[in-house]
Every structure is written in structure tokens, then in C-alpha cells.
Amino acid sequence: MTDLTDPIFTDETKAREHFEATRWPDGAYCPFCGQSETVKKLGGKSMGPGWYHCSDCRRKFTALVGTVCERSHIPLTKWLMAMQLMCASKKGMSAHQLHRMLGVTYKSAWFMAHRIREAMRELHLTPLGGEGKTVEVDETYVGGKEKNKHRNKRANPTGGSGGKEIVFSLVERNGKVRSHHIADVSAKTLRPILEAQIDAASHVYSDTGGARVAAEFPNHGMVNHSIGEYVRGPVHSNTVEGYFATLKRGIIGTYHHVSQQHLKRYLGEFDFRYNERAALGVSDAERTQKAIAGTVGKRVTYQETGRTGA
């Protein structure tokens, strides 16, 4: 349940204390040298609240140093509210909606959203699946229909799926998803992803498209959609198709357009919410806590996100 009346969304002191407790559950440490025993809280009105000093490296810092919120002039209460809204919205929250709800400019809301997506990005990846577990693999295409474009802008004037971006996803049943924005669906592109991110002992299921590389796994199964076969016992790709349904509903209904440049960030956002979903026992508040914890070590500058695109 999302409680937007929580003081951390209205009181700057409560917001700072909440952020500190999440980043430093075992006490403050220096983000520059990593020391904790030499860190002391600074007092006095001249410094303001939330400042610490490390006597080892002689540097001052706050809990925001080294995070995606560092050097931001936007109040921390609004940062936490934005994280809560994005984590609790299954199909995402547009920058325009954040702009209206938070009372910040659209430009600020857009950049906040991209920073939060970076906080959601998983850093330490381990192979999906394992002995007795199942991983489904499939690809989908993201982008507007060719027939809806002006003829001069169509990648393939005669129709088809040309011009769309390709998303390749691996979903462990009752587990996590991992999505990739790829250039093509050739074996050369897909094989390294599968080999690095799926445990060889897993049962790997796909349709005929993924069979070109997934067949190399000893426990591979395939369904043939072209002949109307969608389920054959435990063999199906319905789980990954369900993930694609949520992804596309979010892009079509919430974001409307996602640029090629930033698609990977949106995939990270949808992956994060799926991996920390209610079906796995994760509440909205716990999901937001994990996003806050993920802000550390991922500072993103305005130039790094770029000034154009959705």
C-alpha cells in the first residue's frame, strides 16, 4: 500500500533521516575513503543539517554524495515522492505526470525520472534459472506501426515491422526478468546473452524464433506458434509474453514514445518493478526502499542522459 501522507514526503528533516537510514543502515561512512570510525556529525547553524566530516580524508559530505540525487536543488521530499510514485505505478509514471504532481518543471521531472531509472538498474547480475528451474526467452518489437507513419518516414514503405526497436527478454518462472535492447536477432547477438545469463542446467523454453540459439541448451523445449501451438505440457512462453504485455501497455499508454537512446533505461525500470513485484512478497514501500538503496554509486549528470528523447 502506498501512503502518500508519510512525513518523509512533506518534512525535509524526516526525508533526510529516512534517506540516511536507508543508505547507512549500520551507521554513516565516508563516501570518499570508506571509513566509518573516523566519521562524525557536524553541528552548527552555518553548515545546516545532515553534514558529516571524515577526519581520515578530511572531507565533508552528506548522505546524498555519490548518489543520483547529489548536488540537486530539488527538495529531497520531492525525490522520495517521485521514487514512490514510479515504484508503485505498474505501467510507469510519465515525466509530465511527475511535473504536475510534484510541482517541478517538466525538464526537472524528466531528468529526475531518468536518474531514478538508473537507481533501479541492477548491477550485480547472476545467471537466471538453475537445476529444476525454467527460463523462457523471447523477443518483441517496440515502436509505432508503419501504417501510422508518414510515407516519407517509413522504414519499409510496403509495411512490415521495419523501423522498430528489438527487445530480447529472459524470464525465470516465479523469478526475475532480464531485458536487453538489441540490434538484431541473429545467433551472433543472442548467443552471448544466453550463455552469460542462463544457468546451463535450466529448462529453457522458447518459440521457433528463440530456438536458433536456445536449442543449444540440453533441456530446451519449443512451441510452434505458426501452427497454433502455444502450450505443450510445461513447454510455453506465456510468462515472457505476459511481461511484454505490461511493458507495451506502459510504453503505449503512459510514455507514448520512447527514444532509441533511452529505451534501455525504460527496460531497466520495468525489469525492476517485475523483479520486486507483489507476487514475490514485495510491497510498494519495500520496492521504494530498494530503489533508494540503488541510488548509491550511480551519479548521472545532465550531459550523460542527453537533452533529447522521451
For residue 295, CA distances in Å to 9, 138, 149, 225, 291 come to: 18, 30, 38, 41, 7
CA angle 290, 279, 165 (to 5 degrees): 75
Q: Which parts of the chain have pLDDT scores under 50? A: 157-160, 307-310
pLDDT at 192: 93
Phi/psi of residue 157, each to 5°? -55, -20
pLDDT at 158: 46
The pTM score is 0.90
Name every residue whose Cβ is closer than 8 Å to that of residue 195 and which is 6 or more positions away in sequence.
Answer: none
pLDDT in tens, 264-301: 999 999 999 999 999 999 999 999 999 999 999 887 76
pLDDT at 180: 96
pLDDT at 304: 55
Which DSSP symbol is given to 56?
A: T
pLDDT at 309: 43
- The arrangement of strands across the sheet holding 165-172 comes to 177-182, 165-172, 134-142, 203-207, 220-223
pLDDT at 1: 64
pLDDT at 159: 45
pLDDT at 279: 95
pLDDT at 44: 78
